[in-house]
Amino acid sequence: MINITLPDGSVRQYESGVTAIDIAKSISEGLARNVLSAEVNGEVIDATRSITSDATLKLLTWNDEQGKKTMWHSSAHLMAEALEELYPGIKFGIGPAIENGFYYDVDLNGGSISSEDFPTIEAKMKELAKRKSAFVRTEVSKADAIAYFTEKGDEYKLDLLKDLQDGTITFYQQGNFTDLCRGPHIPDTERIKAIKLMNVAGAYWKGDEKNKQLTRIYGITFTKPTELDEYLHLLEEAKKRDHRKLGKELELFIFSEKVGQGLPLWLPKGTALRERLVDYLKRAQAATGYVQVITPHIAHKDLYVTSGHYDKYGADSFQPIRTPQEGEEFFLKPMNCPHHCEIYKAKPHSYKDLPVRLAEFGTVYRYEQSGELHGLTRVRGFTQDDAHIFCRQDQVKEEFVKVIDLVLMIFKALDFKDYTAQISLRDPENKAKYIGSDENWDKAERSIIEAAEERGLNTVVELGEAAFYGPKLDFMVKDAIGRKWQLGTIQVDYNLPERFELEYTGADNAKHRPVMIHRAPFGSLERFVAVLIEHCAGIFPLWLAPEQAVILPISDKFNDYAKKVSNLLKNSDIRAAVDERAERAGKKIRDAELSRVPYMLVVGEKEEQAGTVAVRKHGEGDLGTMSIEEFADKINSEVNSLINISELN
RNA sequence: GCCGAAGUAGCUCAGCUGGUAGAGCAGCUGAUUUGUAAUCAGCUGGUCGGGGGUUCGAGUCCCUUCUUCGGCUCCA
């Protein structure tokens, strides 16, 4: 007998050789039907594999990330089986699960597949799924595996086999399809109940553009038809929230072919929104010991030679700006850090002065690949809410805590409730590729982890994801419809202080090298505004909305009163416009609702006589009549409850 | 940068197999003076992304270029 420990800590005894499915059945039939794979001693395996020694077991279902991945990976095999029946002679690359679904890369030998073929493929997949074919795992020798794919004529699988060790090779077979695969897979194809192929795209074999281009077919599957419906609904919702669409509709920003790709033009309303974000962060930073600096948009080549960026990015960047001076070259600044290093260097520092926190809303230019540009999330000119903190090694933790507080304050003000901190550390197997002493790295890594713990962050630690110059913490937020975005970042840098020979004088009267911390709570204003638009679907928090209220006179007889109301509100720092058009109230309300103005103030004869406004809230409707002062108080208290910088002190 | 698709009025889109452009909204003008999601009428507006070609004739076919979209690769 063996002991199986379940996630709740309970221990059950089973015969050796029991499978996860057997165990699930012993708990309930329903659970057994839902099991997709199993995590045994931390490793995800087929739910149908035997367990022969004491183990901890977690049964994975659709509700587990890994369960979904298993399902989608198996779905890729199912699609491959369908494709092989429909397109005999087709060759297969790789077919993994991805964040939302799966894909398979195929070589059609000159043929083609388009989205018009999807219904046929989907129908075939459904037919095959219903056969309830089991996914059967077999261990094969490398020689046998090579023989199998040589006979089949699948050069891609043979290419993959080259890099595999004999003795670790497994095949999975379901129905008539056999694939080289590590697994794991779901018990049988019948668990796949809903299938949707999403799109086709070209993709190079092994991601290398020198290799042949394969056809990549994306799909997604579900354990219930309703889950597919929900997913399609979510996609539609995402489309409605697309910041590129809303940015145009709400007149926030545009792009112009003449100005250039990836160079956004901020319209008055977008600028108002952005400036408000900037003011907010500036006030918060002023309260937490930052000083603002301003540096030019271009810099001499030498700056980037010193920083090392010239060697690394020179040829792939905007090319140098020349001057009448022979051989002189300037570059558009791609980051603010080297400039800030020069500011730090401008005078000697004592250990007592540290940390020095230099902040700048610095606009930078990077020549991103044309195919990579996307709305405001990936542009060629953008403004970072950048700051560099120069501190002693023993201050790293405290500085991290402070930056975390700043980021959390912003998340609160913008209603991001769901976030995790991703901590990127060194690859412990390969410490040599990182710059800086082992001791400092250890300290810094520990400081970051402790800072995150102290603030109760949910963290995910990624080994080997650190930059060569230091470990970092990135905030991953989930938006209102569950999509993940990377926003704020905090990074330790041991490289630039070295290259710029930054120093401070310690208590021992000797020179020491400060630690540099890069941080950007928003990341960039462009990207942040894009995420914000998609998060709130264009319905901005009241403190940010370009217009907080619009006053709607019933007829032009009341335009004067409307203007008076607008002026009174302006005195209370409320942004309110008047809709003076000769339209009916219904039309004005409709337009105001569509442009997502938070409050509409309808004014007519009654209001003019009583000195009041009839308040209507966006998306909610009529709130009744109140005095102008009451309304102003209501707005201001609502705003204050959202942004409260004093919390930081 | 690579592969695939698309580009028609300010916006959203229609325009079959080639026969010199349409709608709705927006805008303008006039009428209406209006009470919680679209008042009515009239009008303006396009070298059909740019360039080249085929043709008697090109929004429509071909080449080229730019931009956008979906992916790949990339992101200091």
The model's pLDDT over A275-332, given as tens digits with 9 standing for 90+, comes to: 999 999 999 999 999 999 999 999 999 999 999 888 877 777 788 888 999 989 999 9
Whether A484 sits with its Cβ under 7 A from any strand B atom: the answer reads no
pLDDT score for A209: 65
For chain A, give the mean pLDDT. 89
- Please identify residues in chain A, positions 205-224, with a C-beta within 7 angstroms of any atom of strand B: 207, 209, 213, 216
Give the C-alpha separation, A151 to A231, whole Å.
40
- Give me the catalytic one of A173, A174, A285, A384: A384
| Per-state percent for chain A, helix, strand, coil, to nearest 5 | 40, 30, 35
pLDDT score for A604: 94
- Please identify residues in chain A, positions 588-627, with a C-beta within 7 angstroms of any atom of strand B: 589-590, 593-594, 600, 602-607, 614, 616, 619, 621-622
pLDDT score for A593: 94
Q: Exposed e or buried b for every residue in A483-519, given b needs 16+ CB within 10 A?
A: bebebbbbbbbbbbbebbebbbeeeeeeebbbbbbbb
Active site residue A384: yes
| C-alpha separations of A242 from A250, A340, A375, A533, A602 in Å | 12, 35, 9, 8, 31
| DSSP classification of residue A5 | E
pLDDT score for A155: 83
SS (H, E, C) A432-461: HHCCCCHHHHHHHHHHHHHHHHHCCCCEEE
How much is the average pLDDT of A418-426? 92
Exposed/middle/buried for A163, CB within 10 Å: 0-12, 13-18, 19+? exposed
pLDDT score for A647: 61
Distance A554 CA to B34 C1' (A): 6
- Give me the catalytic one of A73, A472, A512, A618: A472
Residue positions counted in chain A:
649
Active site residue A337: yes
Question: Nearest residue to nucleotide B70 when comparing alpha carbons to its C1'?
Answer: A201
Distance A216 CA to B7 C1' (A): 25
Three-point CA angle A340, A342, A343, nearest 5°: 65
**Among A203-212, A232-241, A399-408, which range has the highest average pLDDT?**
A399-408
Whether A6 sits with its Cβ under 7 A from any strand B atom: the answer reads no
pLDDT score for A591: 93
Distance A555 CA to B75 C1' (A): 54
The answer, yes or no, to whether the previous bond of A553 is cis (omega within 30 of 0) is no
Residue type, A628: I
Which residue matches tokens 């409707």? Answer: A621
Question: Nearest residue to nucleotide B40 when comparing alpha carbons to its C1'?
Answer: A583
**Taking each helix axis from N to C terminus, what angle separates A65-86 and A118-130, rounded to the nearest 10 degrees?**
110
pLDDT score for A31: 86
| DSSP classification of residue A187 | S
Active site residue A224: no
Which alpha helices (DSSP H) does A308-361 contain, by range? 309-313, 337-345
pLDDT score for A251: 92
Residue range A74-117, pLDDT digits in tens: 999 999 998 888 888 888 888 888 888 888 888 877 667 777 77
Which alpha helices (DSSP H) does A572-627 contain, by range? 585-594, 605-610
Among A329-338, A390-399, A426-435, A581-590, the least confident range: A426-435
pLDDT at A516 over 60: yes
Among A222-236, A252-266, A275-289, the least confident range: A222-236
The answer, yes or no, to whether the previous bond of A428 is cis (omega within 30 of 0) is no
Q: Is the dihedral of CA A76, A77, A78, A81 positive or negative?
A: positive
Whether A248 sits with its Cβ under 7 A from any strand B atom: the answer reads yes
Active site residue A472: yes
| ipTM reported for the complex, 2 dp | 0.92
Nearest alpha-carbon partner for A618 in A541, A535, A530, A533: A541
* pTM for the whole structure: 0.88
Nearest alpha-carbon partner for A306 in A276, A272, A274, A331: A331
Residue type, A364: V
Query: Between residues A49 and A404, which one has the greater pLDDT?
Result: A404
Give the C-alpha separation, A230 to A242, whole Å.
18
Pairing between strand A459-463 and A418-425? Answer: parallel
Nearest alpha-carbon partner for A565 in A637, A628, A627: A628
Give the C-alpha separation, A523 to A530, whole Å.
11
| Lookup: nucleotide whose C1' is closest to A331 CA | B76
Active site residue A300: no
* Percent above pLDDT 90 for chain A: 52
Active site residue A341: no
Q: What are phi and psi of A512, to 5 degrees?
A: -130, 160
Confidence of residue A648 (pLDDT cuts 50, 70, 90): low
Among A7-11, A116-120, A512-516, the least confident range: A116-120
Give the C-alpha separation, A66 to A511, whole Å.
51
Confidence of residue A570 (pLDDT cuts 50, 70, 90): very high
Residue type, A191: R
**Taking each helix axis from N to C terminus, what angle separates A396-413 and A438-454, rounded to the nearest 10 degrees?**
40
Confidence of residue A646 (pLDDT cuts 50, 70, 90): low
> Long-range contact list for A82-85, CB < 8 A, 24+ apart?
A82/A121, A82/A124, A82/A125, A82/A128, A83/A121, A83/A217, A84/A176, A84/A177, A85/A124, A85/A128, A85/A176
Q: List CB contacts of A432: < 8 A, sequence separation 6 or more.
A: none
